[in-house]
C-alpha cells in the first residue's frame, strides 16, 4: 500500500471513530525505514495524521510530542523527544524512523545515536545499529557507550571478531554500569571460547548462540522447520504437562552430567511458577522453598535489568 492509500484509509477509519484501525493501517508508513523520505512536507503531513490517532489512543501528553514534531519536522530536539516518547510507548520501529531523520539533520551526536541504537535494538535490527555506529567512527572512539553498543550489537549479528577487537577499549574505570557492560561483552566472548570446537556457532546453531548471548542452556529445540528461519524455535506454543516434565528430566540429566546438586528449588509467588517449581522439586528430589520477600539484592538486580543506555537530561546540549 502506498503512503497516499494508507493515509486515505486511515483518515476514513478516523471518521468512523476507529482509531485502532486507523493506526493499524497507517503505522506501516512510519515503521523503519518508513515511506516518508526526506521531504519535510511529507513528514509534516504524516505526523499530523499520527497526532490525531495518538490523541485518541495514547492521550494528549504523547499527542503533544507528535504535534510538536509535525509543526517543525526539521527540529532535531522535537524529533528526539518524539523518538524517546515512542520508545516509551514500545513503538520502536516508528521511533527508529524518527530518530534516523534526526540523525540525518544533526549527525553523530552521542545522545541521539544511542537513542537510535536503542530503538533499532528493541526492534531486533542489530545490523542497522552496527551500520549507524560504524558510520560514526570518531563518535565510537570517543564514547564508551557507543563502543559497547557496537560490540553488543555485532555479537547479536553473529560476529565474534569485531567485539573481540573492541574489548580492550571497554575500560570501565570504577563506574558500576560500565563495569557491568564491559563484563557482559567479556562474558559473551568467554562463553564463545568455551564452546569453540564443540558447537559450530553458525547461522543454524540456536543452542550455541543462546548459550553465548545469555549463558542459558536450551534443553529442547523444535523439530519443525529447523532448516528454515526458525532454527529450533517455536512460533507459538502452549506448554503442556508432558513438555514441562520433559524439561525437568532434561535438567536432571544436565545436573547428573555436571555432577551438580542444587540446594533447593525456589518457588516463585505466582501460581503457575509455584506449581512448576513444586513439580521440579519432586522430580529432582530437592526441597522446594518459597522465594524470599524482597528477592535478590534489589540494587544489583535493578541496575542489571534497566536499559543501561537509556536516559536523558532535559538540560543537555547536543539535541
For the chain, the structural domain boundaries read: 1-124, 240-310
| Average pLDDT estimate for 122-148 | 97
Q: Determine what percent of the chain is predicted with pLDDT higher than 90.
A: 84
Q: How does 280-315 read in b/e, with b if 16+ C-beta sit within 10 Å? A: bbeebeeebeeeeeeeeeeeeeeeeeeebbeeeeee
167 vs 300 pLDDT, higher one: 167
pLDDT, residue 238, reads 83
CB 73, CB 102: distance < 8 Å: no
pLDDT tens per residue across span 244-279: 999 999 999 999 999 999 999 999 999 999 999 999
pLDDT, residue 229, reads 84
pLDDT, residue 139, reads 97
pLDDT, residue 131, reads 98
pLDDT tens per residue across span 8-57: 999 999 999 999 999 999 999 999 999 999 999 999 999 999 999 999 99
| Average pLDDT estimate for 296-307 | 42
pLDDT, residue 296, reads 55
pLDDT, residue 223, reads 86
pTM, to two decimals: 0.86
Q: What's the rounded Cα separation, in Å, for the pair 130 and 63?
A: 31
DSSP string, 212-230: HHHS--------TTTTSTT
Q: Is the pLDDT of residue 305 over 80?
A: no
Q: Is the pLDDT of residue 298 over 60?
A: no
Q: Is the pLDDT of residue 301 over 50?
A: no
pLDDT, residue 311, reads 46
Q: What's the rounded Cα separation, in Å, for the pair 318 and 149?
A: 19
pLDDT, residue 310, reads 56
Q: Which residues contact 225 (CB under 8 A, 6 or more apart)?
A: none
| Average pLDDT estimate for 112-128 | 98
pLDDT, residue 319, reads 59
Cell 521511533 -> residue? 95
Q: How far is CA 239 from CA 8, 206, 236, in A?
A: 43, 20, 10
Q: What's the rounded Cα separation, in Å, for the pair 118 and 38?
A: 22
pLDDT tens per residue across span 274-288: 999 999 999 999 999
pLDDT, residue 236, reads 84
pLDDT, averaged across the chain: 92
CATH of 1-124, one of 1.25.40, 1.10.3470, 1.20.1740, 1.20.120: 1.25.40
Quickly state the pLDDT bin for 318 (edges 50, 70, 90).
Answer: low
Amino acid at each position: 500500500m502506498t503512503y497516499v492509500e494508507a493515509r486515505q484509509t486511515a483518515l476514513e477509519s478516523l471518521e468512523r471513530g476507529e482509531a485502532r484501525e486507523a493506526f493499524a493501517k497507517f503505522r506501516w508508513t512510519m515503521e523503519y525505514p518508513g515511506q516518508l523520505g526526506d521531504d519535510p512536507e511529507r513528514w509534516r503531513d504524516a505526523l499530523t495524521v499520527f497526532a490525531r490517532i495518538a490523541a485518541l489512543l495514547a492521550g494528549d501528553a504523547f499527542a503533544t510530542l507528535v504535534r510538536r514534531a509535525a509543526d517543525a519536522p526539521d527540529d532535531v530536539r522535537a524529533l528526539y523527544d518524539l523518538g524517546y516518547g515512542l520508545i516509551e510507548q514500545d513503538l520502536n520501529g516508528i521511533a527508529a524512523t524518527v530518530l534516523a531523520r534526526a540523525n540525518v539533520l544533526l549527525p553523530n551526536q552521542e545522545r541521539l545515536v544511542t537513542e537510535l541504537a536503542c530503538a533499532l535494538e528493541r526492534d531486533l535490527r542489530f545490523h542497522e545499529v552496527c551500520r549507524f555506529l560504524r558510520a560514526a567512527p570518531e563518535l565510537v572512539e570517543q564514547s564508551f557507550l557507543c563502543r559497547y553498543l557496537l560490540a553488543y550489537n555485532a555479537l547479536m549479528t553473529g560476529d565474534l571478531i569485531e567485539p573481540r577487537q573492541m574489548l580492550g577499549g571497554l575500560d570501565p574505570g570504577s563506574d558500576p554500569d560500565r563495569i557491568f557492560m564491559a563484563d557482559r561483552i567479556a562474558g559473551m566472548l568467554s562463553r564463545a571460547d568455551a564452546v569453540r570446537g564443540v558447537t559450530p556457532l553458525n547461522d543454524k546453531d540456536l543452542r550455541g548462540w543462546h548459550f553465548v548471548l545469555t549463558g542459558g542452556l536450551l534443553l529442547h529445540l523444535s523439530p519443525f522447520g529447523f532448516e528454515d528461519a526458525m532454527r529450533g524455535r517455536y512460533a507459538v506454543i502452549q506448554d503442556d504437562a508432558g513438555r514441562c516434565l520433559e524439561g525437568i528430566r532434561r535438567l536432571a540429566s544436565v545436573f547428573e552430567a555436571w555432577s551438580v546438586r542444587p540446594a533447593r528449588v525456589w518457588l516463585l509467588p505466582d501460581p503457575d511458577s509455584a506449581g512448576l517449581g513444586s513439580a521440579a522439586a519432586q522430580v529432582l528430589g530437592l526441597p522446594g522453598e518459597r522465594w524470599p520477600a524482597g528477592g535478590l539484592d534489589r540494587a544489583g538486580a535493578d541496575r542489571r535489568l534497566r536499559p543501561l543506555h537509556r536516559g536523558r537530561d532535559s538540560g543537555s546540549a547536543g539535541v
